[in-house]
Chains A and B, each alone.
Chain A
Amino acid sequence: MTTPAATTPAEPAEPLLTAHDLAVSFPVGSQLTARIRHTERLLRAVDGVDLEVRRGEALALVGESGSGKSTLALALAGLRPPDRGEIRYAGRVLPGRRSRDDRRRIQMVFQDPYSSLNPRLTVGRMLGELLRVHHVVPRDQVKSFSAELLGLVGLDEGALSAYPRQFSGGQRQRVAIARALALRPEVLVADEPVSALDVSVQATILNLLRDLRGELGLTLLLISHNLAVVRHLCDRVAVMYLGRIVEVAPTEQLFRDPRHPYTRGLLAAIPRLTEQAGEMGPPALAGDPPSPLAIPAGCRFRTRCPMAQPRCEHEDPALTAGPGDPGHLAACHFAFTPAPATASASPEQA
């Protein structure tokens, strides 16, 4: 068996990008009624996140839609101001309005390469503008450096004079990656970089990300709902549910020994070649996630949790490490201690 973890150093690397008690919310509904009633309805997309991205690692952020993973990525990249909490870069607190240099360090690749590239700029002009604004290279080297960037992502120099519409989806995603790399970032945040692509094209982009990580020593934060992709590419995984991180662990450990009931459900829900739904029992997780407008009190997962206890209604479990293993964190009262047995734990209700 080969594991991607083989590339990680034995001792944990220093934290490069950390979030502490980070919260981002969006006002929803009419601003007029909000003013009249003096109450604002808030969608708490990210609701008190503690996360540590270590230098040189590939960290995955997984969760269902609405779990806040993209919002968290935007906040970390400085594209969305947080309401609360702090973000540190190499130990230094990043201000709400970041300097040009701080912005350069963290770059993003977005999901949809059809809408994230300006259709009216050729690739050469797009890259050239970036390189000039950020003074990455002297002006007379802009063209040659652009060509070099394209070479890095596997496109030839001819692509410089082409418009995004002339590329296929996979090639556009390569252009988007070249754009992100143009500023020589230290952290690359990729938000579902392959989910808009066909399977055979996905593989080329995943391999590219993996190679670039090795070549450039990039730190990668990969946001994905596809756990197979995550397993292929990442050293550690953070699982998000309703705006909170509920479990963090090294990849293989998380897949082998998930401690949070949500992670277990998520893993059990993955379709596999070897079993057939016709022969299987009830779904891995029943019901829909609650609305982020009305997050349940206590543990936010308890409404779908197969092992919820009365205690879970009042006490919000903190993200804590298990005994003897500081690298495996889970936010569940019963993650590392067995839950008290109940007479009949049958939460089967869609």
Chain B
Amino acid sequence: MNGQGRTGPQTGGPQTGERQMNERQMNGNVLEVSDLRVQIASRRGLVRAVDGVSFEVPRGGALGLVGESGSGKSMTLRAVLGVLPPEAHVVSGQVRLDGTDLLTLNHDSLNRMRGPKISMIFQEPMSALNPVMRVGQQIAEGPRIHLGYSRARAAERTLELMRRVGIPDPERRYRAYPHEFSGGMRQRVMIAIALACEPEIILCDEPTTALDVTIQDQILRLLAALCRESGVSLVFVTHDLPVVAQVCQQVAVMYGGQLVERGDVRDVLLDPRHPYTLGLVRSAPDFEYVQDSLRPIPGSPPSLITPPPGCRFHPRCEFAEDDCRTGEVPLRILPGGRATACLHYERCLDALAADRAGQ
């Protein structure tokens, strides 16, 4: 690993940068989420949007959280940062950031963590940015408030950040408003804001979904490079499997508010051990090889108000047996450190072998 990031903060920066690098090189997890449960009150009943989710993010690592709409991936992310919509609330669980449980903090203490410890990049930069505030000021706000920088020093830091995320001509762009930027440039601004106070971890909620493929490519490479250079950790929520493979080392697959599979990104996506992951991989048109016919997952996602008993995927699963229909089906650790919630995961192996023989 490089001893130093390419660019440290302008003044007094290199020392803090180095200190953080050393801290980050220590083993351990920067974020530990355990048994997180989020419920949403709706007219039709209580929606169990997140139902017992646990995961860890290693220091300097990137974890992908994938799933379809309604799987609870965004709710998980929002619960971690404490920005749930008003009708949703955390009913149990722990979110430990460097040992501190974020769920027990009051509003002010949590606010002090946002920025210097943890920050977030949203899908729609146009609605996340303030439309009537100059871009430079929005980036400088964090260092001013959290790091106590003077106006001049914050401005200097802002220009450096803008350069680092690849915004051309930062001196002029500093005074621009978000609407004057393209989608890709706005997302770069979001990244600069997220990085401004050198957080330990950045939560990314579908940061490239609204972007074109060439711009997505630029942003993904930028995020990967920033991760590598500054040692910041990422949690990356997306529905796009190849995108996860580009940025993350680890991936966790969500279905019906629960984790169903977790492991090294290439293991999970190329060699799934859960029928839902297998279904996702089979139904996505793959660029590498053309399948004769795509194989959709039959049925539709479960109701989160009255989820099916047993494994939540069993009504749509081709491998389902009687034991899948009752009782809890928790994640089990498999050899090699990966985990699956499937009781009959070995059937995925046979199905994959059959797929490959047919190719």
Is B279 a contact of A200 with CB atoms below 8 Å? Answer: yes
Does B247 count as interface, using CB distance less than 8 angstroms? yes
CA distance A203 to B298 in the complex (A): 11
Instruction: Count how many chain B residues have C-beta atoms less than 8 Å from C-beta atoms of the other chain.
Output: 54
B-binding segment of A40-48, A123-131, A268-276: A268-276
Partner of A203, one of B69, B213, B295: B295
Say whether chain A's binding surface is mostly helix, strand, loop, or mixed. loop
Distance from A337 Cβ to chain B, minimum over Cβ atoms (Å): 25
Does A250 count as interface, using CB distance less than 8 angstroms? no
Give chain B residues whose Cβ lies under 8 Å from the Cβ of A144: none
Distance from B123 Cβ to chain A, minimum over Cβ atoms (Å): 14
Given contacts A2-B291, A198-B68, A227-B213, is CB(A275)–CB(B246) below 8 Å? yes
Does A10 count as interface, using CB distance less than 8 angstroms? no
Is A270 a contact of B293 with CB atoms below 8 Å? Answer: no
Partner of B247, one of A199, A268, A277: A277
- Measured CB to CB, the nearest residue on chain B to A275 is B246
Does A204 count as interface, using CB distance less than 8 angstroms? yes
Given contacts A168-B300, A204-B296, A284-B214, is CB(A227)–CB(B287) below 8 Å? yes
Partner of B283, one of A3, A65, A200, A274: A200
Is B242 a contact of A199 with CB atoms below 8 Å? Answer: no
CA distance A229 to B292 in the complex (A): 12
Distance from A108 Cβ to chain B, minimum over Cβ atoms (Å): 22
Point out which of A65, A200, A210, A266 has the most chain B C-beta atoms below 10 A from its C-beta: A200
Does B331 count as interface, using CB distance less than 8 angstroms? no
A-binding segment of B36-44, B92-100, B189-197, B220-228: B220-228
The proximity string for B residues 310-353 relative to A, scoring 1 for CB distances below 8 Å and 0 otherwise, is 00000000000000000000000000000000000000000000
Is A280 a contact of B279 with CB atoms below 8 Å? Answer: no
Given contacts A203-B295, A203-B296, is CB(A284)–CB(B246) below 8 Å? no
Give chain A residues whose Cβ lies under 8 Å from the Cβ of B239: 198-199
- Measured CB to CB, the nearest residue on chain B to A349 is B168
Distance from B357 Cβ to chain A, minimum over Cβ atoms (Å): 14
Q: How large is the interface on A (under 10, 10 to 19, 20 to 34, 35 or more residues)?
A: 35 or more
The proximity string for A residues 259-293 relative to B, scoring 1 for CB distances below 8 Å and 0 otherwise, is 00000011011111111111010111110100000
Would you list 28 pairs from A and B whose C-beta atoms are within 8 A, ordered by A residue? A2-B291, A3-B290, A65-B183, A168-B300, A198-B69, A199-B239, A200-B68, A210-B293, A227-B213, A228-B285, A229-B285, A231-B285, A232-B285, A232-B290, A266-B213, A269-B214, A269-B216, A272-B245, A272-B287, A273-B242, A273-B245, A274-B288, A276-B246, A277-B247, A278-B227, A280-B224, A283-B217, A283-B218
Distance from B298 Cβ to chain A, minimum over Cβ atoms (Å): 9
Give chain A residues whose Cβ lies under 8 Å from the Cβ of B183: 65
Distance from A300 Cβ to chain B, minimum over Cβ atoms (Å): 15
The proximity string for B residues 177-188 relative to A, scoring 1 for CB distances below 8 Å and 0 otherwise, is 000001111000
Does B110 count as interface, using CB distance less than 8 angstroms? no
Distance from A138 Cβ to chain B, minimum over Cβ atoms (Å): 36
- Measured CB to CB, the nearest residue on chain A to B287 is A228
Given contacts A200-B68, A283-B217, is CB(A271)–CB(B240) below 8 Å? yes
Distance from B204 Cβ to chain A, minimum over Cβ atoms (Å): 13
Distance from B227 Cβ to chain A, minimum over Cβ atoms (Å): 7
Given contacts A271-B240, A272-B245, A350-B166, is CB(A203)–CB(B212) below 8 Å? no
- Measured CB to CB, the nearest residue on chain A to B168 is A350
- How many A-B residue contacts, CB cutoff 8 Å? 141
Does B266 count as interface, using CB distance less than 8 angstroms? yes
Is A200 a contact of B296 with CB atoms below 8 Å? Answer: yes
Is A203 a contact of B285 with CB atoms below 8 Å? Answer: yes
Does B103 count as interface, using CB distance less than 8 angstroms? no
Is B296 a contact of A201 with CB atoms below 8 Å? Answer: yes
Tell me the B261-318 residues at the A interface (CB within 8 Å): 266, 269-270, 279-280, 282-297, 300
Given contacts A229-B285, A283-B218, is CB(A271)–CB(B68) below 8 Å? no
Is B294 a contact of A277 with CB atoms below 8 Å? Answer: no
Give chain B residues whose Cβ lies under 8 Å from the Cβ of A302: none
Give chain B residues whose Cβ lies under 8 Å from the Cβ of A228: 284-287
CA distance A3 to B359 in the complex (A): 11
Is B292 a contact of A2 with CB atoms below 8 Å? Answer: yes
The proximity string for A residues 198-220 relative to B, scoring 1 for CB distances below 8 Å and 0 otherwise, is 11111110110010000000000
Is A207 a contact of B293 with CB atoms below 8 Å? Answer: yes
CA distance A228 to B270 in the complex (A): 17
The proximity string for A residues 49-84 relative to B, scoring 1 for CB distances below 8 Å and 0 otherwise, is 000000000000000110000000000000000000
Does A85 count as interface, using CB distance less than 8 angstroms? no
Given contacts A64-B212, A273-B270, is CB(A203)–CB(B240) below 8 Å? no
Given contacts A2-B291, A199-B280, is CB(A277)–CB(B246) below 8 Å? yes
Point out which of B223, B239, B243, B292 has the most chain A C-beta atoms below 10 A from its C-beta: B292
CA distance A200 to B283 in the complex (A): 5
Is A271 a contact of B220 with CB atoms below 8 Å? Answer: yes
Is B168 a contact of A206 with CB atoms below 8 Å? Answer: no
Does B88 count as interface, using CB distance less than 8 angstroms? no
Does A225 count as interface, using CB distance less than 8 angstroms? yes
Give chain A residues whose Cβ lies under 8 Å from the Cβ of B294: 202-203, 206-207, 232
Give chain A residues whose Cβ lies under 8 Å from the Cβ of B217: 268-271, 283-285
